[in-house]
Structure 1
Amino acid sequence: MAKYIAQIIIAGSQVIGRAFARALKQEIEASQQAAQRLGNQNNAKTRSERVANQKLGLTLDEAKQILNISKLSKEEIEERYNSLFKANEKASLYLQSKIVRAKERLDHELKNSDSKEQTTKEGSNT
């Protein structure tokens, strides 16, 4: 009887060990793929975008989603910012801070795009 119990324990251990090894291998592959995707994404971004994302804590897409903006225009940003900030005035300081950060990020992007346009205009004028 003890012999059969020992065999069952050994067989069960082997099955669990193989399953654990397989799951570990899949997890390692998934994390390597995620790291590759992140690396490709970071290579695509310009240095100024990475700096802005780190400095302000939001990506451009996140900021657009927070303020529900599809295109960058100063008027639309101001309008959405004012309405959302006032709507959350009594509700949540956290939401207000997210709205402020989103506006800062979008303003930073507008400033960068304006300076790029100015640089290309100056380059074409010379």
Structure 2
Amino acid sequence: MAKFIYQMIVTGTQIVGRAFARALKQEMQASQQAAQRRATSAGANQESATQDLRHGISLEEATRILNIEKQLNKEEIESKYNHLFEVNDRSKGGSFYLQSKVVRAKERIDQELQLMGEKQNKRNEQSNSSVR
């Protein structure tokens, strides 16, 4: 009798474990596909789409989290980030999850600003070389 119960427990555990692993794998695939669809449907350029996939957050979502306009102003970004980071500090009763989202949003926006700067530098170099 004990052997039968033991076999039922082991078999049940194996079934649940396989189902959980399959569900986790499907969720990861669905998440990656959604990020790819979001990046392509938004008409984003290739670098921005790559950053969306790498950071797991789109530029649009990042701007909504920090409550900033599409026009990226470094001073406004920094002040909103500092305010939201402080408000969500765990030692002050805030949420670590929300604080993490704020940090990820700022990282994503900083990355976009860097990409924009690199593009501007390339344009300047091209215009300078065509003037000569």
Which segments of 5 or more consecutive residues in structure 2 lack a partner in the other structure?
A: 1-33
Deviations 1:61-105 (A, max 9, x none): 000000000020111111100000000102110000000000000
- Rounded Cα–Cα distance in structure 2 between residues aligned with 1:111 and 1:73: 13
- Residues 1-126 of structure 1: matches in 2 within 5 Å? 38=37, 41=41, 44-70=43-69, 71-90=71-90, 91-126=94-129
Q: Which runs of 5+ in 1 are unaligned?
A: 1-34
Separation (CA, whole Å) in 1 of partners of 2:49 and 2:112: 12
Distance 1:102 1:111 in 2: 14
**Count of residue pairs brought into register by the alignment:** 89
Q: Is the radius of gyration larger for structure 1 or structure 2?
A: 1
Deviation per residue, 1:20-39 (Å, 9 max, x gap) = xxxxxxxxxxxxxxx9xx48
SS in 1 for 2:68: coil
TM-score (norm 2): 0.63
Q: Which amino acid aligns with 1:63?
A: A
Secondary structure of 1:125's aligned partner: helix
- Aligned equivalent of 1:25: none
SS of corresponding position for 2:89: coil
CA-based RMSD of the aligned residues comes to 1.8
User: What is the percent sequence identity of the aligned residues?
Assistant: 44
